[in-house]
């Protein structure tokens, strides 16, 4: 098993302000330093990183700078994370343009995975057709990923039409995209983590670990989630891919959270 960490703890989750008036520029971003994040993740003992599409896009004209940084810190780029509304046909082409930019750069820097979240909740009501529109967009994401030699996965997320287990089931009726379970979002959305991971184990090529308790995301081992049982399920099914820790925010130095989670991962997998 290989362990990675998302860089978004360094600065939190934001979006590019240009996206208010230009859909194609609505990249995910974190305001922290990429260089500090990668250095801290490496020194905490992780082998790889996941990064937001907007933070990776910052290196589009400085590809050697990013490659040298990863090489210097001896970490791999595991995945690039992107997302979209997906249900609005008029803007889908611009959203897919941005996702393709992420895939293109991901390949440039050696990534294995393209992870996307999304499926907007309308201000009026969720339409039955929205699930099919989301699935159609996810199929296009899979095509993009295939073109760049990446594995595409859908990441369930609070605040989308893919947050509850029933919604996730409905989405997967219409698309063949792989599944990147985010443990905390699944439980916060009402899922039994063990049950849904077991149900979709054949779709799982990549995993996000995040602990959770009383509405708060936490470092691993500090919340209520049954990670020992989840590790057992993965091992029983011969999963040998990346396990990436994601923590949107930490009330303290993010490196401390990374170390807490790494020690916990070592304890349950070794």
Span 198-219, mean pLDDT? 97
Domain ranges of the chain: 2-269
pLDDT for 185 equals 96
Q: Which of 171, 172, 178, 119 is nearest to 145 (CA)?
A: 178
User: Considering the entire predicted model, what is its pTM?
Assistant: 0.97
pLDDT digits (tens, 9 = 90+) for 19-76: 999 999 999 999 999 999 999 999 999 999 999 999 999 999 999 999 999 999 999 9
Q: Which of 216, 219, 223 is nearest to 260 (CA)?
A: 219
pLDDT for 63 equals 95
With pLDDT > 90 as the criterion, what percentage of the chain qualifies?
96
pLDDT for 7 equals 98
Q: Is the confidence at residue 270, as pLDDT, over 90?
A: no
pLDDT for 173 equals 97
- The DSSP output letter for 157 is -
Please count the other Cβ atoms lying within 10 Å of the Cβ belonging to residue 163. Answer: 21
pLDDT for 184 equals 96
pLDDT for 253 equals 97
Span 237-257, mean pLDDT? 96
Span 224-231, mean pLDDT? 96
| Mean of pLDDT over the chain | 96
pLDDT digits (tens, 9 = 90+) for 169-186: 999 999 999 999 999 999
Q: Which of 16, 3, 31 is nearest to 254 (CA)?
A: 31
Please count the other Cβ atoms lying within 10 Å of the Cβ belonging to residue 31. Answer: 11
Superfamily holding 2-269 = Divalent-metal-dependent TIM barrel enzymes (3.20.20.150)
Strand partners, 242: 2
What Cα–Cα distance (Å) separates residue 177 from each residue in 8, 43, 135, 140, 266? 24, 34, 8, 10, 30
Three-state DSSP class for residue 81:
strand
Rounded to a whole number of angstroms, the distance between the first and last alpha carbons of the chain is: 10
Inter-residue contact 52 to 27 (CB < 8 Å): yes
Q: Over 83-124, what HEC string results?
A: EECCCCHHHHHHHHHHHHHHHHHHHHCCCCEEEEEECCCCCC
User: What is the rounded CA–CA span in Å between residue 34 and residue 189?
Assistant: 30
pLDDT digits (tens, 9 = 90+) for 102-113: 999 999 999 999
């Amino acid at each position: 098993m290989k362990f990675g960490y998302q860089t978004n703890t360094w600065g939190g989750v934001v979006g590019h302000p240009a996206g208010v008036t230009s859909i194609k520029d609505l990249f995910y971003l974190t305001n922290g330093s990429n260089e500090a994040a990668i250095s801290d993740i490496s020194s905490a003992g992780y082998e790889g990183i996941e990064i937001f599409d907007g933070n990776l896009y910052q290196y589009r004209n400085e590809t050697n700078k990013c490659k040298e940084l990863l090489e210097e810190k001896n970490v791999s780029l595991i995945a690039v994370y992107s997302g979209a509304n997906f249900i609005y046909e008029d803007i889908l082409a611009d959203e897919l343009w941005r996702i393709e930019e992420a895939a293109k750069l991901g390949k440039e820097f050696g990534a294995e995975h393209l992870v996307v979240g999304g499926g907007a909740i309308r201000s009026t009501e969720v339409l039955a057709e929205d699930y099919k529109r989301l699935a159609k967009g996810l199929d296009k994401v899979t095509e993009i990923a295939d073109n760049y030699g990446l594995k595409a996965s859908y990441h369930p997320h609070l605040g989308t039409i893919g947050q509850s287990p029933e919604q996730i089931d409905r989405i997967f009726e219409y698309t063949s995209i792989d599944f990147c379970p985010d443990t905390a979002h699944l439980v916060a959305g009402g899922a039994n983590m063990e049950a849904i991971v077991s149900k979709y184990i054949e779709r799982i090529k990549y995993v996000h670990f995040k602990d959770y308790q009383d509405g708060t995301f936490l470092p691993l081992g500090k919340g209520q989630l049954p990670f020992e049982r989840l590790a057992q399920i993965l091992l029983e099914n011969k999963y040998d891919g990346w396990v990436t820790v994601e923590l949107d925010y930490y009330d303290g130095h993010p490196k401390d959270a990374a170390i807490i989670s790494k020690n916990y991962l070592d304890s349950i997998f070794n």
